[in-house]
Amino acid sequence: MSPALRFVVGLVLGLALLTWGAFVLVQTTTREWIEKDVRLRAELAVAGARQALSVNWRSDRSTELREILTDITRDDRIMAAAACDSDFYRLAQTAGFPPRFNCDWIADQVRNLANPTVPASWHQTESLPGGPVMVSAMPVPDSDLILGFVVLVHDLSFAARRETSTRQFILLAFAFLAVAASMTTIIVARLTSRSWSEEIRRLARGEAPRGPEFRPILRDVRELVERMMVEKETESEGGAWTPQRLKSTLTRHLHGERVVIVANREPYIHERQPDGSIKVVHPASGLVTALEPVMQACSGVWIAHGGGSADRDTVDRNDRISVPPGENTYFVRRVWLEKEEERGYYYGFSNEGLWPLCHIADARPTFNTEDWQQYQAVNRKFADAVCAEVDSEDPIILVQDYHFALLPRLIRERLPRATVISFWHIPWPNSERFGICPWRRELLEGMLGSSIIGFHTQIHCNNFFDSVDRFLETRIDREQNAVVQHGRATLVRSYPISLEWPVRWVKSIPSAAECRAGVLNELGLPTDALLGVGVDRLDYTKGVEERLLAVERLLERHPEFLGRFRFVQLAAPSRTLIERYRRLNETVELVAARINERFGKNGYKPILLFRSHHEPSNIFRFYRAADLCYVSSLHDGMNLVAKEFVAARDDDRGVLILSQFTGAARELTEALIVNPYDLEEASSALAGALTMTPNEQRERMRSMRAYLAEFNVYRWAGRMLVDAARIRRRERLSGRISERLSPAASA
Ligand code: F6P
C-alpha cells in the first residue's frame, strides 16, 4: 500500500471512530432530552387538568373523567390515558388504552419503587408492537390526600425517527468530512511536495533555496546529490579502472580539463653519451613509475627539473618536449636550476632536511638557512612555470612530493580558483619529530594552499593533522577529514598509490621461464640455482644493509642453501652528492664483499651486487627470473618495488618478502611480512620462501595480483580527481550562493 493510501485509510478510520463516538453521545443526549420533555409535558397536562380531575374523581363520574382524559390525549404525543384511584381501581380510560398498562400493572410498578408511600410521578419506557412508548403515572392530589393516579401512554416512536435522522445526518457529515479531509490532505501534500521538490531541484542545481527552512539541509542535499552522481558514474562505468575510464572520469567530472603535474623528477631524462649521441633514461623513481601512466591517460603537462645532460638540447623554445618518445601524448616542461639552487633545494633542504625528518631510519635531519632560502626560491620558480603553463583560471594542478611543500600556497595566491592536489609520497612524521624543522609553520601553511593533500596511509594523515593542530591556528574538521583555515577547507585523505595494470614492461619482455633462463645464463649460474632479488635506489631508508645481513643469517642457519642460493641486488646510485649516501654505497659494497668472502667457495658468491642504473625492462626480467623478492625498507611511504614484483609474475610464482614498515604491507597482506631489523625473522622468511610449495606461491600471488588489478594507479588518480571535482562543484555552488546572497559584495 502506498504511503498516501495508507495515510488516507488511517484518516478515514480515525474519522469513523470519532463519528461513532459523536453519534453515541448525540443519541444518548437526545434521548434524555426527549424523555425529559415528555415527562414535563405529561406533568403539565395533568397539572392543567387537576381541578377538573379532582371534581370528577369518582367511579360514578367515569364518563366525565374519560372526557377529561380524552382532552389530555389531544396532545398528539399522548396516545392514551387512564385514571386509577388510590387503591389502583380503574375509574376511566380513553379508547385504545393498552390493556397491558392497566391499574394493576401500575400498582405493581409503583409498589416496586423504593418508597411507595411517597407518591410522585413515575415514568418508564416500554415497548409495544408499534414502537417504544413511555408510561407515566402521575398522582392527582387533593389537599393532603392523593386521590389516585392518571396514567399516560406517550408515543416515543418520533424519538426513534429523530434518532434515525440524526444518525443519517451524522453519517452524511462524516462522509463529507472524510472526503473533504482526504482531499485537503492530498492537495496540501501535493502542493508541499511540489514546493519541496522544486526547492530540492534548486539545491541540486546549485541555486540558493527560497525558503529559509531549507538552508539547514542545503549541505546534506548537495552531498547526497554528489555522492549519488559519483556512485552513478562508477556504476555506469563499472568494472576495473583503466586509462580510458580515467580519461572519461576527467571528461565527465572535470570537463576534460588539462592536468598539470609538478614533480621534481622528470619522466624522461635525456643524457649525452660519450659518443655524442643522446640516450633517453627512465629514472629509478616510484613517483615516475606511478604518475607516467596517469599522464599518458590524461595528457597535459608535466613540469619538472630538467637535470639530464642533454635536456636543454631536446626542448623547444618554450622549454617543452613532447613525450613519450614516438607517442607524444603529453608534454614535459623543463625548469632549469642553477647549481646552487639544486644544491640548496634538492640536496640540501629536501634530501638532507625533509627526507630524514620524515623517515624513521636512524638519520639526523640537517636544516640550514641557505638551503631553506633556495628551497623557497625554487618553489617560486616552479610557481612561475605553473602559471605560464595553465590555460584557465581554475586549472587542476597535481603537486608531487616533499620538494614542493610551499608551492600550493604560491599557486593559490596567484590562481585562487585553482584545484591543487598535493601528494606527499613519503611518510609524515609524528608532530614531535616534525617540530624539529625550524620552518615547520611555513611548510604547513604552504601545503594548506592545496585543495586536497594525499598520503599513502591514514597514519600519515593523522600525523599531519596532529602537526597542524600543534603548530597552526586552524580548525580541524575530523568528520570531513579537513583542515579549515581562513574559511577554506583542505581535505586530507589517504590514497594508496599503485601501478598501471597491466604494467607495460611485462608485455615487452619474454615469459617468466625465458627470463629465468636468460638471467641465469647471463650470470653464469646453473639452471637449478635459487635466486632472490632486491631492487632499490641506494638509499639508507631501503634497508639494503639489513637485507644483506638477513641473507648472511640465512646461510648461517640453513647451510643447505650454501652454493645454491644467490641474492641479486640491483642498486641505483642516488643523491651521491650527499655524504650519508656516499657512505651507504661504501657500506653496502663492504657488507656484500664480506659475506661473499665468508661463504664464497669455488666461484660461488651469495651476493651479486649491481650498483648502477637499470632500465625498467631489465628490472622486470630479474623480477620474473627470481624465486623471491625481498623489500626490506626501514620506513617507506608505499614502496612500488613490491607491487612491481607482483605485477611481473604473471606465472603466479615467486614469493614476496615485505617489510612491515612499508605502506605496501597494508595492502599486500599475502606477502611474508617481516621486521627487517629482526634478522632471525627475516632469515626465516627467506628460508620459508625458498621452500614454499608451488601451490602456496600460486595462491598468494594470485590474490595479490587480483588486488593490484583492481587497486591500480588509475583508481588512485581517479579517486583524487573525483574528490577534486566534488570540491570544484561545491566551491562553484557556494560561489554562486554567496554571489546571490550578497551581490554587492561580489560586484
Ligand atoms: O619516495 C619519494 C620519491 O620522490 C619517490 O617518489 C621516488 O621514488 C624517489 O623519491 C626518487 O628520488 P629522487 O628523485 O631524489 O631520485
Q: Which domain holds residue 533?
A: 524-710
Model confidence over 93-111: pLDDT tens digits?
998 899 988 898 888 887 7
Q: How far is the CA of 400 from the centre of ligand 1 (A)?
A: 10
541 shares its domain with 654: yes
Kindly state if the Cβ of 265 falls inside 6 Å of ligand 1: yes
pLDDT in tens, 311-340: 999 999 999 999 999 999 999 999 999 999
Which protein residue's CA is at the shortest distance from atom 4 of ligand 1?
287
**Percentage of residues of the chain with pLDDT beyond 70:** 92
Across the range 399-406, mean pLDDT stands at: 98
Q: Which of 3-17, 117-131, 354-368, 488-502 has the lowest mean pLDDT?
A: 3-17
Q: What is the mean pLDDT of residues 228-244?
A: 70
* 684, 578: one domain: yes
The ligand 1 atom nearest the CA atom of 287: 6
Round to whole Å and give the CA distance between 675 and 16: 77
Q: Does residue 199 form part of some domain?
A: no
C-alpha cell at 467: 602537526
What CATH number has the domain bearing residue 78? 3.30.450.20
Q: How far is the CA of 285 from the centre of ligand 1 (A)?
A: 5
- Residue to substitute in 261, 289, 423, 425 for testing ligand 1 pocket (most ligand atoms within 8 angstroms of CB): 425
Q: What confidence category does residue 747 fall into, taking pLDDT thresholds of 50, 70 and 90?
A: very low
Q: Which of 140, 155, 170 is the last residue of a domain?
A: 155
Q: How confident is the model at residue 443 (pLDDT cuts 50, 70, 90)?
A: very high
Half-sphere exposure of 271 (CA within 13 A, CB side): 12
CA of 286 to the centre of ligand 1 (A): 6
Separation of CA 725 and ligand 1 centre (Å):
28
Regarding the beta carbon of 315 and ligand 1, being less than 6 Å apart is answered no
CA–CA separation, 145 and 57 (whole Å):
12
Are 232 and 365 in contact by the 8 Å Cβ rule? The answer is no
Co-location of 465 and 540 in the same domain: no
Distance from C-alpha of 237 to C-alpha of 227, rounded to nearest angstrom:
15
Domain total in the chain: 3
- The candidate with the shortest Cα–Cα distance to 523, out of 605, 602, 623, is 605
The label of the residue with cell 594542478 reads 397
In the reported structure, the alpha carbon of residue 690 is separated from the centroid of ligand 1 by a whole-number distance in angstroms of: 31
State whether residue 486 is helix, strand or coil.
coil
Q: Cα–Cα distance between 727 and 419 in angstroms, integer?
A: 8
42 pLDDT band, cuts 50/70/90, is confident
Question: Are the CB atoms for 66 and 94 separated by under 8 Å?
Answer: yes
Residue 54 belongs to a domain: yes
Residue 384 CA to ligand 1 centre (angstroms): 23
The finding on whether 350 has its CB within 6 A of some atom of ligand 1 is: no
The finding on whether 341 has its CB within 6 A of some atom of ligand 1 is no
467 lies in the same domain as 533: no
289 lines ligand 1 (CB under 6 A): no
Q: Is 286 in the pocket of ligand 1 (CB under 6 A)?
A: yes
Q: Is the pLDDT of residue 247 over 50?
A: yes
Radius of gyration of the chain (CA): 50
d(CA 304, ligand 1 centre) in Å? 13
Give pLDDT, residue 672: 98
As separate numbers, helices (DSSP H) first and strands (DSSP E) second, the chain gives: 26, 23
Per-residue CA distances from 584 to 216, 424, 544 (Å): 60, 25, 9
**pLDDT interval class at 634 (50, 70, 90):** very high
Quick: pLDDT tens for 669-707: 999 999 999 999 999 999 999 999 999 999 999 999 999
Kindly state whether residues 538 and 414 are assigned to the same domain.
Answer: no
Residue 82 shares a structural domain with residue 140:
yes
Which of 262, 268, 269, 287 most suits a substitution to test ligand 1, by most atoms within 8 Å of the C-beta?
287
Q: Does the beta carbon of 379 sit less than 6 angstroms from any atom of ligand 1?
A: no
Dihedral sign for Cα 691, 697, 699, 705, please. positive
Lowest mean pLDDT across 135-144, 385-394, 428-437, 521-530: 135-144
- Contact between residue 260 and residue 386 where contact means Cβ atoms under 8 Å apart: yes
Instruction: Provide the pLDDT for residue 36.
Output: 85
Select from 155, 182, 212 the last residue of a domain.
155
Task: Report the first-to-last Cα separation within the chain, whole angstroms.
Answer: 53
Q: Give kind and range of the element (H or E) at residue 633.
A: none
Q: Report the run of H or E that residue 315 belongs to, with start and end.
A: none
Instruction: Assess contact for 267 and 332: CB atoms under 8 A.
Output: yes
Closest CA to 619 of 289, 151, 212: 289
Residue closest via CA to ligand 1's atom 15 equals 575
Q: Are residues 409 and 265 in the same domain?
A: yes
267 C-beta closer than 6 A to ligand 1: no
% pLDDT > 90, the chain: 65
For residues 523 and 358, what is the distance between their CA atoms, to the nearest angstrom?
38
Instruction: Name, in order, each residue with C-beta under 8 angstroms of 223's C-beta and a sequence gap of 6 or more.
Output: none
pLDDT score, position 188:
82
Residues 296 and 393 in one domain: yes
Average pLDDT of 655-672? 98
CB burial class (10 A; 0-12, 13-18, 19+) of residue 21? exposed
Residue 690 located in a structural domain? yes
Pick 54 or 405 by higher pLDDT: 405
Residue 45: band (very low, low, confident or very high) from pLDDT cuts 50, 70, 90: confident
Nearest partner of 47 among 121, 140, 134, 144, judged by Cα? 140
CATH code for the domain of 621: 3.40.50.2000
Q: Kindly state the helix (H) or strand (E) to which residue 89 belongs, with its residue range.
A: none
Q: Which amino acid is at 325?
A: P
pLDDT higher than threshold 70 for residue 738: no
| 476-486 average pLDDT score | 95
Please identify which residue in the block is written with the cell numbers 376511566. Answer: 92
* Residue identifier of the C-alpha nearest atom 9 of ligand 1: 285
Q: Whose CA is nearest to atom 7 of ligand 1?
A: 285
Residue 724 in domain = no
3-state SS class at 81: strand
Residue 159 has pLDDT above 80, yes or no: no
Four-CA torsion 305, 307, 313, 314, nearest 10 degrees: -60
Residue 287 Cβ contacting ligand 1 at under 6 Å: yes
Closest atom of ligand 1 to CA, residue 537:
16
Together in a domain, 470 and 562: no
Any atom of ligand 1 within 6 Å of the Cβ of 401: yes
Residue 220 maps to a domain: no
Q: Are 653 and 694 in contact (CB under 8 A)?
A: yes
pLDDT at position 745 is 44
Centre of ligand 1 from the C-alpha of residue 402, in Å: 9
Confidence of residue 472 (pLDDT cuts 50, 70, 90): very high
Partners of residue 566 on adjacent β-strands: 531
Residue at 172 is within a domain:
no
CA angle 570, 572, 575 (to 5 degrees): 155
Of residues 265 and 43, more confidently modeled: 265
CB atoms inside a 10 Å sphere around CB 608? 17
pLDDT band at residue 746 using 50, 70 and 90 as cut-offs: very low
Centre of ligand 1 to C-alpha 322, Å, is 23
Q: How many CB atoms lie within 10 A of CB 398?
A: 26
CA–CA gap between residue 317 and residue 308 (Å, rounded): 17
Does 84 lie in the same domain as 134?
yes
Task: Let me know whether 595 and 680 are in one domain.
Answer: yes
The set of residues, in sequence order, having a beta carbon less than 8 Å from that of 692 and lying 6+ positions away, is 655
CB 375 within 8 A of CB 437: no
Question: Residue 271, SS3?
Answer: strand
The C-alpha atoms of residue 318 and residue 27 are separated, in whole angstroms, by 100
Q: Are 534 and 640 in contact (CB under 8 A)?
A: no
pLDDT of residue 152 exceeding 50: yes
Q: Which atom of ligand 1 is nearest to the CA of 285?
A: 8
Phi, psi of 483 (to 5 degrees): -110, 125
The atom of ligand 1 lying closest to the CA of 351 is: 15
**Ligand 1 and 670: CB distance under 6 A:** no
Tell me which residue has cell 646461510: 555
Tell whether ligand 1 has an atom less than 6 A from the beta carbon of residue 426. yes
Helix (H, G, I), strand (E, B) or coil at 506: helix
pLDDT recorded at residue 480: 92
| Last residue within a domain, chosen from 155, 182, 201 | 155
Residue 21's SS3 state is: helix
In a domain, 400, yes or no: yes
pLDDT band at 224 (very low <50, low <70, confident <90, very high): low
Q: Are residues 454 and 325 in the same domain?
A: yes
Residue with cell 531549507: 214
Q: Indicate the SS3 state at residue 659.
A: strand
Task: Quickly list H helices, 206-242.
Answer: 218-237
Domain-located, residue 17 = no
Q: Which of 40-49, 109-118, 619-628 has the lowest mean pLDDT?
A: 109-118
Please provide the average confidence, as pLDDT, over all residues in the chain: 90
Q: Which of 262, 265, 422 most suits a substitution to test ligand 1, by most atoms within 8 Å of the C-beta?
A: 265
* Highest-confidence segment of 124-128, 172-176, 739-743: 124-128
Contact 453, 425 (CB under 8 A): no
With a CB cutoff of 8 Å and minimum separation 6, the contacts of 332 are: 266, 267, 268, 301, 302, 303, 304, 320, 321, 323
With 80 as the cut, is the pLDDT of residue 398 above it?
Answer: yes
